[in-house]
């Protein structure tokens, strides 16, 4: 049945849109186009899952790192050979900020498509952290630098 025949019957008009938008393609070219469309949709969802996973892992990393520094900074300073400060209040505050940053990354994970500004802020925090700790904790600087680059790349996916 063609679209024209379907449009003549008032009960069949609901089916005419199906042939117009080519959900059921009638020739090979239409079939190829619908396969490409499905592939693009699949890739879009794969990218979304990849970026959500990235922000989930980064959120866990920063939240756990902040909690560890909050409660075990003495042991960390001892293991690295650094002197403990006289007043550890600023260390406590920095550890809490790192854990809160992990929570920010969880927020991005839950609403990736609408988090462009938070991602930009996250990139700036990561680069700031890398610049601060590169001398003392090289391994953390490397992890955070990689996260910052991946966060920058994720900006191509989210809304403008």
pLDDT tens-place string over residues 58-68: 999 999 999 99
Helix (H) / strand (E) element for 85: namely none
Q: How far apart are CA 74 and CA 154, in angstroms?
A: 36
pLDDT, residue 49, reads 85
Least confident of 3-12, 63-72, 142-151: 3-12
Question: Per-residue confidence at 137, pLDDT binned at 50, 70, 90?
Answer: confident
- pLDDT confidence of residue 5: 45
- Report how far apart, in Å, the C-alpha atoms of 80 and of each of 20, 86, 131, 137 are: 68, 17, 18, 9
Determine how many CB atoms are found less than 10 A away from the CB of residue 122.
24
pTM above 0.85, yes or no: no
């Amino acid at each position: 049945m063609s679209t024209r025949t379907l449009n003549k019957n008032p009960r069949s008009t609901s089916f005419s849109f199906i042939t117009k938008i080519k959900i059921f393609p009638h020739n090979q070219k239409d079939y190829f186009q619908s396969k490409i469309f499905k592939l693009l949709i699949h890739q879009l969802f794969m990218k979304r899952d990849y970026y959500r996973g990235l922000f989930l892992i980064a959120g866990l990393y920063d939240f756990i790192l902040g909690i560890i520094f909050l409660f075990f900074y003495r042991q960390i300073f001892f293991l690295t050979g650094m002197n403990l400060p006289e007043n550890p209040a600023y260390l406590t505050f920095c550890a809490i900020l790192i854990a809160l940053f992990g929570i920010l990354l969880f927020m991005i994970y839950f609403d990736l498509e609408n988090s462009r500004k938070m991602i930009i802020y996250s990139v700036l925090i990561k680069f700031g952290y890398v610049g601060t700790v590169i001398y003392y904790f090289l391994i953390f600087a490397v992890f955070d630098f990689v996260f910052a680059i991946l966060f920058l790349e994720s900006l191509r996916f989210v809304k403008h």
